């Protein structure tokens, strides 16, 4: 099993004061998860590459594109803004290998994501070229949704197929559901509401980690 990583999601943070919010979690975070939504693939619209440029942290930025057919120039905007990794959605791209190839050619890590109802078979052909698979444990689009445990068989199968791959889960992650996902084989945990809704963000992260030992 690869290293456990905690990725606080700024989707649940106060974006008008994002650097202060990140400052409260970065000591205990392995990644900062940045959700990008375009209003097409998912109804909400969130931040853009210009906003990502304003983020000041030494913690790697894990950029998750919930975006319909992101082109090279669009992706490059996030790479130039400091992304450590960019994850695209299988359902949003006609040929995900093109986006994956472009991301990797630019020297950063590439991930592919699937929604809770998408079969793992859809992405098996990309497992040899991605650095991470993000299994959504809610329908993408909104923070604060309930964890979908029915996504766990995909995590289990993925871990059997790729013992050393980073497997990320995103949606409804709290100390209890993180444990469920960890037991299935996940090692990267995106948590938004369960961290940023708490006054003591460091304690919230420690509570998640406690169940992953």
Task: Supply the residues annotated as catalytic.
Answer: 35, 170
* Closest C-alpha to 1, from 213, 154, 208: 213
* Closest C-alpha to 172, from 210, 137, 208, 126: 137
**Residues paired with residue 66 on neighbouring β-strands, in sequence order:** 37
End-to-end Cα spacing for the chain: 12
Write the DSSP symbol of residue 5: E
How far is residue 9 from each of residues 31, 61, 71, 202, measured CA to CA in Å? 9, 10, 24, 14
Residue 40 CA to residue 213 CA, distance in Å, equals 39
**Residues paired with residue 188 on neighbouring β-strands, in sequence order:** 5, 168
């Amino acid at each position: 099993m690869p290293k456990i990583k905690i990725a606080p999601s700024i989707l649940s943070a106060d974006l008008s004061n994002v650097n202060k919010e990140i400052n409260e979690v970065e000591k205990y975070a392995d990644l900062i998860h940045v959700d990008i939504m375009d209003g097409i693939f998912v109804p909400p619209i969130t931040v853009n590459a210009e906003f990502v440029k304003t983020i000041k942290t030494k913690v790697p930025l894990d950029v998750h594109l919930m975006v319909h057919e992101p082109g090279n120039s669009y992706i490059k905007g996030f790479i130039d803004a400091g992304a450590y990794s960019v994850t695209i959605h299988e359902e949003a791209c006609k040929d995900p290998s093109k986006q994956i190839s472009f991301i990797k050619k630019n020297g950063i890590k590439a991930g592919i994501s699937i929604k809770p109802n998408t079969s793992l078979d859809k992405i098996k052909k990309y497992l040899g070229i991605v650095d991470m698979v993000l299994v959504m444990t809610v329908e993408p689009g909104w923070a604060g949704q309930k964890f979908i445990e029915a996504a766990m068989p995909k995590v289990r199968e993925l871990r059997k197929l790729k013992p050393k791959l980073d497997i990320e889960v995103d949606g409804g992650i709290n100390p209890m559901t993180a444990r469920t996902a960890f037991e299935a084989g996940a090692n990267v945990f995106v948590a938004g509401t369960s961290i940023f809704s708490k006054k003591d963000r460091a304690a919230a992260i420690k509570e998640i980690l406690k169940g992953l030992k």
